[in-house]
Amino acid sequence: MRKEQVLLPLVRGVVQRPRLASAFFRFDRWGNPFTEEIFRDPYPSYHKVRADGPVVYRGLYQQWFVSGYDEVREVLASDKVDVGTQIDVLLDVRPYTGLSEQAAWLFRHFLLMLDPPDHGRLRSLVAKAFTPRRVANLEGRIRSLATSALDGLAASGEPTWEMVEAYNLPLPVNVIADLLGLPPDRWHWARHNIHRLVQLLDPFEGFDPADVNQAAAEAWEVWGALADERRADPTDDLLTALVEVEEDGDRLSRDELVVMAAFLMGAGFETTASLLGNATVALAAHPDQRDLLRRSPDLWPNAVEELIRFDTSVRRDPRHTNAPLTVGGVTIPAGSNVLLMLDAANHDPRHYDDPDALRLDRIDPRPISFGYGIHHCLGANLARLELKVGLQCLLEAAGDYTVDPSAVVWKRSSTLRGPTRLPIRPSP
């Protein structure tokens, strides 16, 4: 039995009982990483992490933590780490052991969970269909969807707008669903289906295997049927492009089409919706930067990068060493679990001047949020475009809106960050 099979359920049980967690982490020098305060604002806690160095082993967690920008980038670029071993470990631990064969296969074959050579083959095929030109052509459609949603909020006459349910989630959901060619009457289903599957990404929060199994079965049925339709009757959408893409006679199988559609659907909205929420909060907290954008609209491309750096939606990225790896002057043994702290790396004071400040004119922010190397986010440009257009439309519609920080509810997740409730008060 691997130690993780005992440790993960133990930590999960502690995390889900706040009083027990407080006692459990009471004497740990990093403190309790699962408090509401940390979920609300994790960045001050990283000063304690950095005091131990950019690469450090913590026996309490049985893993290595990498928090430095250069060190995270070096690990991501290394062929001495893999992703699949971590997934195999999870699948041997409760509640993952309760997954159906179908759900486990779906999770195991998401693009982010694959290693070479499978990863390279699938990514190459998808990249031929999911082209920069296809993404760039979406700007008008994104603006139309954003304006329509904001017009609806304005017409409600409510003094506050709940952004997560009315804007942050529907916008990227509708964009990626439309791009894939999913019929509009299925968009609401797609959002909730992926939300159930995304639970698999956080090993500390737990999930109901029966619910995830049902979501996986639904995904297989809907995406499989749509793939069959596109094979028989092609249209001008991304799923058709995925059906037709070919490289040296190699094509995506029906199972691979189902997994890729579900993966692109999830990757295309869950993190982007959170980025929109995080940026909305950040601009309200820094009205001088919001004014700077209005005065200097040419800053938008750089501002998007800085907002992604300042408060990213993906906090952690796990890896496993398949050979000894020396990084930051520290050698991580083969067979080690490694946790890359992307949000901490984006605030590394050795890489960024005054990293905890939001400066939309910061020179070359270049966040590590979208990863690096072979697993660099395939949809990074789409996320950037949605964030830019979504925020532009929001500033036009809501003016100098305000946010009450005490009214914002944040995700309870060590993997993903973003508000689950975000009321704003628009201003003319």
pLDDT digits (tens, 9 = 90+) for 340-391: 999 999 999 999 999 999 999 999 999 999 999 999 998 899 999 999 999 9
Query: In Å, how far are 31, 72, 251, 362, 398 from 303, measured between CA atoms?
Result: 33, 23, 39, 8, 19
Question: What are the residues whose beta carbons fall under 8 Å from the beta carbon of 291, sequence distance 6 or more?
Answer: none
Q: Are strands 337-341 and 63-66 parallel, antiparallel or unpaired?
A: parallel
Question: What are the residues whose beta carbons fall under 8 Å from the beta carbon of 364, sequence distance 6 or more?
Answer: none
Whether 88 has a pLDDT exceeding 60, the answer reads yes
Both structure tokens of 145: 């969807």
Residue with tokens 């995304």: 198
Per residue in 309-336, is it b (16+ CB within 10 Å) or e — as a string?
A: bbbbbbbbbbbbbbeebebbeeebeeeb
Return contacts of 90-94, CB within 8 angstroms, 24+ apart. 90/8, 90/203, 92/2, 92/4, 92/5, 93/4, 93/5, 93/8, 93/9, 93/203, 94/9
Q: Are strands 316-321 and 337-341 parallel, antiparallel or unpaired?
A: antiparallel
Residue with tokens 């959002």: 191
pLDDT for position 5: 64
Segment 262-286 mean pLDDT: 92
Residue with tokens 């020098």: 29
DSSP structure string for 363-401 = S----STT--GGGS-TTHHHHHHHHHHHHHHHHHHHSS-
Whether 51 has a pLDDT exceeding 70, the answer reads yes
Whether 121 has a pLDDT exceeding 60, the answer reads yes
Three-class secondary structure of residue 81 per DSSP: strand
What is the number of structural domains in the chain?
Answer: 1
pLDDT for position 279: 98
Higher pLDDT, 266 or 82: 82
Segment 236-247 mean pLDDT: 90
pLDDT tens for 309-340 read: 999 999 999 999 999 999 999 999 999 999 99
pLDDT for position 101: 93
Q: How confident is the model at residue 126 (pLDDT cuts 50, 70, 90)?
A: confident
As a whole number of angstroms, the distance between CA 66 and CA 329 comes to 12
CATH (domain of 219): 1.10.630.10
Segment 98-105 mean pLDDT: 92
Q: Side chain identity at 164, as an amino acid letter? A: V
Q: Which domain does 126 fall in, by range? A: 3-425
The secondary structure of the chain in percent helix, strand, coil, rounded to multiples of 5, reads 60, 10, 30
Both structure tokens of 21: 């967690």
As a whole number of angstroms, the distance between CA 290 and CA 353 comes to 20
